[in-house]
Every structure is written in structure tokens, then in C-alpha cells.
């Protein structure tokens, strides 16, 4: 299955366009939060790092076989998250077969998502990703690691990850709110410099997916 996934990924990356997706999960949390964030990130990356991603992201459910069509899946929200047994099996197969998920806590998700990540990988702990990891190095340097975009509880931003055979397969951005920084300027009234910082970090994530 792993070879098949990489073959499909290679084909998709060498054709006219790539495609990424937003995860539609259960549990009551607002998986649909920040509706302009992914389209804006896609536009930024297509302009600045030469990706060829379809302008409109897809929506995919955790248990869907379509999950394997997307090399990158984004997940966000403020509230409860519940992965069913079928969700867990499919997500685990996806991640161990070459897929990648970015979970962006939009404030309020943390207490729920950590339990669901533990379901996915009960024998593997989330670890903090060091600032010297490639995801913070190129194409934009973030010497101190994950940037702070929005203030929540006065805590520092942290990037946590799950690694499989030294490959980062799950990125969890906490106390940061990258997705809010990707949204249209009038949504959160973030200064241009803050939005630019968020978009540059998002570009690093997608660059890591498509070039590693």
C-alpha cells in the first residue's frame, strides 16, 4: 500500500494540479472554521513557492477511501472531536502509507484532540518538534520554531508531531492559530506582518509535504 500511495502521489504531483483537503470530523466541533484560510494559503503557495494546487480545497471524512487521494489534509476547529473505530483505522493507514495531517488548534480543541491522537497511535507519544527541523528551515527560516499568530492563554506556541520511521506524519500546532492568520484580512483584522508570517509558515508546511 505504501508504494501505491507514493506512486499516486508522484502521478498527482507531475500532472496539471495537486489537491489538498479539509478534514470533516465528527463530535460537534466546527471543522468548517476559517473558511477562507486554506484557499488563501493555496493562492500564496502557488504564487510564492511554485506549487500547483487546485484553488479550492476538497472536503474529506476520516473514514473515506478518498482520504488517500490527498497528500496533505488540514484539520481545525474550536470544540469536540471524536474519531470512530473506522476513522482511526483509515487515518492510521493513511498516515503510515505516506499521508500527512496538520491539526491546527483554533482554541478549545486541545483537550479533545489529544485523546483522539492517542487513539491513532497508542504506543507513540506526541513530541515537540525542535526549531532545527526542516519544516522550520525552508523556504522561510523560523529560527525559534512555530510563530505566534493569535494570543490565547499567554502560552508559547508549540509544534507537536508524530514521527513514523523518522518521518513527520502528523503536525499539531498549539497556541498559535495559523489558520486565523491565513484568513481574509478583514476576518480577524490581523496586521499584514502577522498574516505574512502565518502564510510563510503554511508555505513551509506544504513545501515539506511536496518536497520530502
What digits encode the pLDDT tens for the residues 85-98?
999 999 999 999 99
> Are 34 and 183 contacting, i.e. CB atoms less than 8 angstroms apart?
yes
pTM: 0.91
Burial of 20 (0-12, 13-18, 19+ CB in 10 A): buried
Are 140 and 204 contacting, i.e. CB atoms less than 8 angstroms apart?
A: yes
- Reported as a pLDDT band with limits 50, 70 and 90, residue 152 is confident
Percent residues over pLDDT 70 in the chain: 92
Q: Where are the beta strands (DSSP E) in the chain?
A: 21-23, 58-60, 73-77, 101-105, 127-128, 158-164, 167-174
Above 90 in pLDDT, residue 5?
A: no
Q: Is 50 left (phi over 0), alpha (psi -120 to 50) or beta?
A: left
pLDDT at 13: 44
Q: Cis peptide before 101, with omega less than 30 degrees from 0?
A: no
The partner residues of 103 in beta bridges, in order of sequence, read 75, 172
Q: If pLDDT is split at 50, 70 and 90, which confidence band does 212 have?
A: confident
Task: Please write the tens of the pLDDT for every residue from 65-87.
Answer: 999 999 999 999 999 999 999 99
Q: Quick one: pLDDT at residue 173?
A: 97
**Residue 40 backbone class (left: φ over 0; alpha: ψ -120 to 50; beta: rest):** alpha
Q: What is the average pLDDT value for the chain, to the nearest integer?
A: 92
The tens digit of pLDDT for each residue in 155-182 reads: 899 999 999 999 999 999 999 999 999 9
User: Which secondary structure element, helix H or strand E, spans residue 97, and what is its range?
Assistant: none
User: What pLDDT sits at residue 105?
Assistant: 94
Interatomic CA distance for residues 125 and 95, integer angstroms: 15
Q: Give pLDDT, residue 53.
A: 96
Amino acid at each position: 500500500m505504501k508504494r501505491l500511495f507514493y506512486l499516486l502521489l508522484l502521478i498527482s504531483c507531475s500532472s496539471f494540479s495537486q489537491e489538498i483537503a479539509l478534514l470533516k470530523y465528527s463530535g460537534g466541533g466546527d471543522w468548517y472554521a476559517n473558511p477562507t484560510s486554506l484557499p488563501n494559503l493555496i493562492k500564496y503557495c502557488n504564487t510564492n513557492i511554485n506549487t500547483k494546487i487546485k484553488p479550492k480545497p476538497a472536503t474529506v471524512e476520516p473514514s473515506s477511501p478518498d482520504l488517500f487521494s490527498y497528500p496533505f489534509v488540514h484539520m481545525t476547529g474550536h470544540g469536540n472531536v471524536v474519531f470512530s473505530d473506522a476513522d482511526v483505522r483509515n487515518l492510521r493507514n493513511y498516515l503510515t502509507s505516506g499521508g500527512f495531517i496538520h491539526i491546527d488548534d483554533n482554541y478549545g480543541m486541545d483537550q479533545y484532540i489529544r485523546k483522539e491522537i492517542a487513539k491513532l497511535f497508542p504506543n507513540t507519544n506526541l513530541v515537540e518538534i525542535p526549531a532545527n527541523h526542516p519544516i522550520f528551515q525552508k523556504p522561510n527560516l523560523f529560527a525559534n520554531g512555530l510563530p505566534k499568530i493569535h494570543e490565547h492563554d499567554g502560552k508559547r506556541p508549540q509544534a507537536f508531531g508524530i514521527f513514523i520511521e523518522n518521518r513527520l506524519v502528523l503536525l499539531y500546532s498549539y497556541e498559535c492559530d495559523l489558520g486565523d492568520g491565513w484568513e481574509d484580512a478583514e476576518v480577524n483584522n490581523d496586521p499584514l506582518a502577522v498574516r505574512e508570517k502565518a502564510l510563510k509558515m503554511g508555505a513551509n508546511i506544504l513545501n515539506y509535504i511536496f518536497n520530502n
